[in-house]
Structure 1
Amino acid sequence: MAEIRELKRPKGLLFDKDGTMFDYHRTWTPLLTEVAERLAVGDRRKVQAMLAAIGHDAESGRFLSGSIAAAGDTFALADVWLRHLDGADRAALIATLDAHFAEEGPKRSIPVADLAALFGRLKANGFILGIATNDVEASALGTVERFRLGAHVDFVAGYDSGHGQKPGPGMALAFCDAVKLMPVEIAVIGDNSHDLEMGRRAGAGLGIGVLTGTSARDDLAPLADHVIESIELLPPLLDSFES
């Protein structure tokens, strides 16, 4: 586990999106495979090479913790895939990827819980909620709309929202600024080291790792104050803290 800290009940909860609110592998393996097939124009060997280059393990059928697919943004993804796409234009590729994720992501995301019920419960208990993702902002906003979270979420940011990308602290600090909280008053919840590193760099009071993404407990424990199986277990964990 992370070093022992004096932990208090947070006032704000900043959630990662994919792997935290949504089952990473069931959502993103098909999304990334489909767009790779489209870009490779049916060349199966090229598709496999593109997926392997961003962290796909063919034996397990899963993306690896800390890989570009698991932790990167569209810029990083495009820069790797450009090596496999002769003559492709970087700006056009980024636009193609972001459009695909914005259109298909919200429709295809598979939640790890009844998100509207969970977020409603957390909001009713006085928590201020936000979402910070290395996905494109339009995808995050579409997801909020599809899963009826608009009444509960006070802040949404993607890699292109102007606050920088994870593991930088920008999105966490922007959340604090938007909802008028100090960094020590928030918890960052995520499935990957870059989520927890963002929280630590911002000075967040609490880091909570979840196991619904690409990371194992041992991957998250060095950076997290707590590691839980799923965000479904957040309410009892938060109830255990003194105000």
Structure 2
Amino acid sequence: MTWTLDSSIKAILFDKDGTLIDFDRTWSVINRKAAAIAAAGDGLLCDVLLNACGMDPLTGKTRADSMFASANADEIARHMVDHGSPVAPDALARLLDQAFVDGADAAVPICDLNLVMGRLTGSGLPLGIASSDGEASIRRTVEVLGLTRHVSFIAGYDSGHGPKPEPGMIHAFAAHLGLSASQIAMVGDNRHDLAMARAAGAGAAIGVLSGTGTHQSLTELADICIASVADLPDLLAAR
């Protein structure tokens, strides 16, 4: 039987990186900068930290469910310190957050997001973004890509709702709209996104294969996997 999105879904919450933003084209440069900051000028250590956090220093590709793929700045900083960074964890987390904000200026969208989001909001679906990135970086990305008019809710790991895969971001989005979590569809490219959907009791967990996740890594938790968010309007139209 072909899975279809239930008509009770009234809003969509997106992950950002790998879902709306091309992960490797955007984050390979940012993550190299992050590792260089953490390595404090030690080139060999920089490569060690990149590998430890999930990015191949040669190809720039990031592994599914690795630190770079799904963790927040605090978690990445602690992981880097555990793997040799001489920078204090709290100070490193602040430096990483700033690097991530700066990197938002070069964000590469997965597709024509204005077209996709316009079709979704035009059909009456409010949209939000929930990311393991910091809120300032998310807001900067939304501004740079000209998506502000489409996005009514933004939550980062530091917004006070708890980090992924805890359910708080979905619950906050539902409360913001006056809906229940069961009326929210969560769309993401890694297991943290879909595990958050399950923990929150979201009405749908939709995996996208445009980021670091794979069909194999996502199918256990996803109701359906689609190529990218570009496929969402047609999926919704089939309801």
Q: Give the TM-score normalised by the residue count of structure 1.
A: 0.92
* Residue in structure 2 matched with residue 151 of structure 1 by the alignment: 149
* Residue in structure 2 matched with residue 115 of structure 1 by the alignment: 113
* Residue in structure 1 matched with residue 224 of structure 2 by the alignment: 226
- 1:88-121, CA deviations, whole angstroms, 9 ceiling, x for partnerless residues? 22221111111111122x2121101111221111
* Residue in structure 1 matched with residue 213 of structure 2 by the alignment: 215
**AA partner of residue 213 (structure 2):** S
Q: Does the 8 A contact of 2:18 with 2:211 survive in 1?
A: yes
Q: Does the 8 A contact of 1:102 with 1:138 survive in 2?
A: yes
* Residue in structure 1 matched with residue 18 of structure 2 by the alignment: 19
- Higher relative contact order (Cα pairs below 8 Å, separated by 6+ residues): 1
SS in structure 2 at match of 1:62: coil
Q: CA deviation at 1:64?
A: 1.0
Question: C-alpha distance in 2, partners of 1:120/1:156?
Answer: 17
Question: C-alpha distance in 1, partners of 2:57/2:98?
Answer: 26
Deviates more, 1:67-76 or 1:31-40: 31-40
Q: Give the TM-score normalised by the residue count of structure 2.
A: 0.94
- Is 1:99 matched with 2:98? yes
Root-mean-square deviation (Å): 1.6
Structure 1 residues not aligned, in runs of 5+: none
Question: C-alpha distance in 1, partners of 2:95/2:57?
Answer: 25
Structure 2 residues not aligned, in runs of 5+: none
**AA partner of residue 161 (structure 1):** S
Change (3 A) 1:233 1:85: same
SS in structure 1 at match of 2:205: strand
- Counting only pairs closer than 5 Å after superposition, residues 13-52 of structure 1 correspond to structure 2 as 13-52=12-51
Q: Does the 8 A contact of 1:55 with 1:69 survive in 2?
A: yes
Aligned length, in residue pairs: 236
- Counting only pairs closer than 5 Å after superposition, residues 133-144 of structure 1 correspond to structure 2 as 133-144=131-142
Question: C-alpha distance in 1, partners of 2:40/2:89?
Answer: 18
Change (3 A) 1:63 1:224: same
Q: CA deviation at 1:42?
A: 3.5
- Is 1:74 matched with 2:68? no
Change (3 A) 1:129 1:176: same
**AA partner of residue 125 (structure 2):** F
Q: CA deviation at 1:234?
A: 0.4
Question: C-alpha distance in 1, partners of 2:34/2:57?
Answer: 17
**AA partner of residue 139 (structure 2):** L
Deviates more, 1:56-65 or 1:45-54: 56-65
Q: CA deviation at 1:145?
A: 1.0
**AA partner of residue 78 (structure 1):** A
Q: Does the 8 A contact of 1:154 with 1:179 survive in 2?
A: no
Q: 1:178 aligns with which of 154, 166, 176?
A: 176
- Counting only pairs closer than 5 Å after superposition, residues 186-201 of structure 1 correspond to structure 2 as 186-201=184-199
**AA partner of residue 91 (structure 1):** D
Question: C-alpha distance in 2, partners of 1:46/1:79?
Answer: 15
Change (3 A) 1:60 1:146: closer
Q: Does the 8 A contact of 1:16 with 1:131 survive in 2?
A: yes
Question: C-alpha distance in 2, partners of 1:113/1:6?
Answer: 23
